Amino acid sequence: MASIPVPDISLGAIAPEITLALTAVVALMLEVFAEKKGRDHIAYISLVGVIVACFITFRLAGDPSWTTFSGLYVVDRFGQFFKLICLLGTGMTILVSVKYNKDEGIDNGEYYALLLFATSGMLFMVSGSDMITIFMGLEVMSISLYALAGYTRKRARSNEASVKYFILGSLSTAFLLYGIALIYGSTGSTQIDIIAKAVSSGSGVEAVLDLGIVMLMIGFAFKVSAVPFHMWTPDVYQGAPTPVTAFMSAGPKAAAFAAFFRVFNVAFPSLQADWWVIIWILAVATMTVGNVIALLQNDVKRMLAYSSIAHAGYILVGFVAGGALGSSAIMYYMLVYTFMNIGAFAIVTVVGRKGEEKTKFSDFTGLGYRYPLMAVALVIFLFSLAGIPPTAGFVGKFYIFMAALKHGYVYLAVIGVVNSVISIFYYLRLSVMMYMQDEPGEDLPPLVFAPSLIAVMIVAIYGSLWLGIMPAGYISFAQSAFLAL
């Protein structure tokens, strides 16, 4: 009997994912075996796992890119860049969660295990060179997120968020899977470079392929919360525990964008002349709807949810622009966005207090006097989100709009600039709120700043400011990451 050939397997390539999964298993075991005190350390053990994964990702040789697992998985600098963004988001989220979980009485083990499983899913998604890998990663990520969104079980709003996310997420998964199936039916493969060959040679069945591409696009558009597939975002972001919201708004979005970008630019570059129109429409609708609705929000979490929709729109602008400039602009923006957005959410967890009852705009009045440093930090994050120089958000936006202009999408860039002007108003509103004298109301105990939270804020401030003042290094990193795609 002939032995069955063993597929080419390079475990080194997926070492970051393995590290995360193992750390998650350790977290689970600690949850059931360790004493109360030991369980408090789970957060830090998870953090160590994330840092080790970061380190391994950094050291992997991704240039030139190489594939393993018989073409299911690719190691390249594009993927590495996005993986680092995802890991950064996870690391910051873990630090934000430490104090929050203690206050809310959340079981640590499962929580961090889910975070880590979700992250390993993202990493698979980012590096998948086959629709199946991408789909697997996406599902691992999504299912963990459904559970995380409803993690504060006693809170009705959290449950609502979880169920809504699950139902709509399943719908979008159906779209995605249907798209993959149709594309497979047309081209005979799920591997993106083989699909590319089939598509460009025109050997596929065209109508089936077209439908498949649009379905696929809808599936990804849901994950990056592009209008009109964004409806879940405000409800889920508002209902989910704030650290989870922070997590969802950064890493999973980056991973979804990475997969979206990779699939469309590797598998269907020959149809770019057609699909950019759809992405263009998505980008404009997403920016505009996100920003305009955000104007009237009274809840900070919900405002940040709409703001994150709007930011997805800006990133889609970079997507439309495409090419080396557009893609490195996306990467840079996603990196900056991770810093500033998690920073902003970190402050919301503190100001929100126990049970997240204080997340209204009015709850932020007067913070400028009582907690000047925290207020300054939040102002930096908000200004960065608004794109006011010299913050990183400005460089990111400038870079994206520049890429759009460079490739001739003038209207898109102008719409983007108009939108970023609109966005100033609601970010500014919150900043001004903090510097208004607050009404003499109930006496609240002082806010508590845990060391872990201060660490997050320092990292976030570094990212939001330093990347604006000295962005050259990161931009050239993003550039080189693209060139390897």
Partner 1 sequence: MGAVAVGIAGAMLMLSEFLGPKHFFREKMEPFECGENQIVSPKQRYSVRFYLIAMFFIIFDIEAVFLFPWAVIFQQLGMFGFIEMMIFILLLGVGLIYVWKKGALEWE
Partner 2 sequence: MLGLENIWLVPILPLIGAIVNGLFGKFMSKSSVTLWAVGSTGLSFFIAVIAFLNLLSLDARDRVFEKILFTWIQAGSFTAQAGIQIDPLSAIFLLIVTGVGFLIHVYSIGYMSHEEGYARYFAYLNLFMFSMLLLILGNNFLLMFIGWEGVGLCSYLLIGYYYEKDSASNAGKKAFVMNRIGDFGFLLAIMWIFWTFGSIDYTTVFPSASQVLPAGGFAVTGITLLLFLGATGKSAQIPLYTWLPDAMEGPTPVSALIHAATMVTAGVYMVTRCNALFNLAPTSMIVVALIGAATALFAATMGLYQNDIKRVLAYSTVSQLGYMFLACGVGAYVAAVFHVMTHAFFKACLFLGSGSVIHGMSGEQDMRQMGGLKSKMPITHMTMLISALAISGIPIFAGFFSKDEILLSAFLGHTKGNLVYWILATVAAAVTAFYMFRLYYMTFSGELRAEDQHVRDHVHESPNVMTVPLIILAFGAAFAGFLGLPIIEGGHALNNFLGPVFHTPGAPEHPHASLGLELFLMGFSVSVAVLGILVARHFYYVRPEAATEMAAKGGFIKTVYTTLQNKYYIDEIYDVVIVKPVVSFSRSFLWKIFDVKIVDGFVNSIASFVTDLSSLLRKSQTGMVRNYALAMALGGVFFVGLWILALGN
Separation of alpha carbons 433 and 454, rounded Å? 22
**Alpha carbon 422 to chain centroid distance?**
23
Of 177, 278, 455, 485, the residue at the interface with partner 2 (CB under 8 A) is: 278
Q: What is the DSSP string of 450-463?
A: -HHHHHHHHHHHII
Phi and psi at 74, nearest 5°, equal -125, 140
Contact set for partner 2, span 177-206 (CB under 8 A)? 206
- Among partner 1, partner 2, none, what binds residue 389 when CB lies within 5 to 8 Å by partner kind? partner 2
Count the Cβ atoms, other than its own, within 10 Å of residue 120. 27
Site for partner 2 contains 274 (CB under 8 A): yes
Residue 20 binds partner 1, judged by CB under 8 A:
no
Q: Binding segment for partner 2 among 54-62, 64-72, 243-251, 275-283 (CB under 8 A)?
A: 275-283
Q: CB–CB of 347/318 below 8 Å?
A: no
Tell me how far apart the terminal alpha carbons of the chain are, to the nearest angstrom.
41
CB of 221 to partner 2, least distance (A): 8
Compute the distance between CA of residue 200 and CA of residue 187 in angstroms, rounded to an integer.
Answer: 10
- What minimum distance in Å lies between the beta carbon of 33 and partner 1? 7
Residue 74 bridge partners (DSSP) = 67
Residue 289 touching partner 2 (CB under 8 A) = yes
Query: Smallest gap, in angstroms, from Cβ of residue 296 to partner 2?
Result: 5
Separation between Cα atoms, residue 146 and residue 164, nearest integer Å: 9
Binding residues among 390-429 for partner 2 as defined by CB under 8 A? 390, 394-395, 398-399, 401-402, 405-406, 410, 413-414, 417-418, 421-422, 424-425, 428
Least distance CB 45 / partner 1 (angstroms): 16
Q: At its nearest, how many Å lie between partner 1 and the CB of residue 114? A: 13
277 binds partner 1 (CB under 8 A): no
Which one-letter DSSP state was computed for residue 75? E
Query: Could you say whether residue 42 binds partner 1 (CB under 8 A)?
Result: no
Residue 175 CA neighbour count, 13 Å, CB half: 18
Choose one: 30-38, 169-177, 217-225, 229-237; the region binding partner 1 (CB under 8 A): 30-38
Does 36 engage in binding with partner 1 (CB under 8 A)? Answer: no
Q: Which is nearer to partner 1, 27 or 84 (CB)?
A: 27
* Binding residue (CB under 8 A) for partner 2 from 47, 287, 453, 475: 475
CA distances from 169 to 164, 224, 294 (A): 8, 12, 23
C-alpha dist (Å) from residue 410 to 3, 283, 288, 335, 405? 60, 14, 16, 25, 5
**Virtual CA dihedral for 392, 393, 396, 400, nearest 10 degrees?**
-170
User: Does 454 help bind partner 2 (rule: CB under 8 A)?
Assistant: no
Backbone angles phi, psi at 73, to 5 degrees: -140, 135
The three-class DSSP label of residue 410 is helix
CB of 108 to partner 2, least distance (A): 31
Mark residue 445 as left, alpha or beta (left: phi above 0; alpha: psi -120 to 50; beta: remaining).
beta
3 binding partner (options partner 1, partner 2, none; Cβ < 5 to 8 Å by kind): partner 1
Least Å distance, CB 156 to partner 2, is 13
Name residue, tokens 């009109």.
228
**174 touches partner 1 (CB under 8 A):** no
Which CB sits closer to partner 1, 32 or 296?
A: 32
Provide the 3-class DSSP secondary structure of residue 64: coil
Judged by CB under 8 A, how many residues of this single chain contact partner 2? 70
Tell me how far CA of residue 352 lies from CA of 149, 348, 359, 393, in angstroms: 17, 6, 5, 25
* Binding of partner 2 by 210 (CB under 8 A): yes
Query: In the complex, which residues of this chain contact partner 1 (CB under 8 A)?
Result: 1-4, 6, 25, 28-29, 31-33
Query: In the complex, which residues of this chain contact partner 2 (CB under 8 A)?
Result: 163-164, 167-168, 171-172, 175, 206-207, 210-211, 213-215, 217-218, 222, 228-229, 231-232, 234-235, 274-275, 277-278, 281, 289, 292-296, 324-325, 328-329, 368, 388-390, 394-395, 398-399, 401-402, 405-406, 410, 413-414, 417-418, 421-422, 424-425, 428, 432, 435-437, 470-472, 475-476, 479
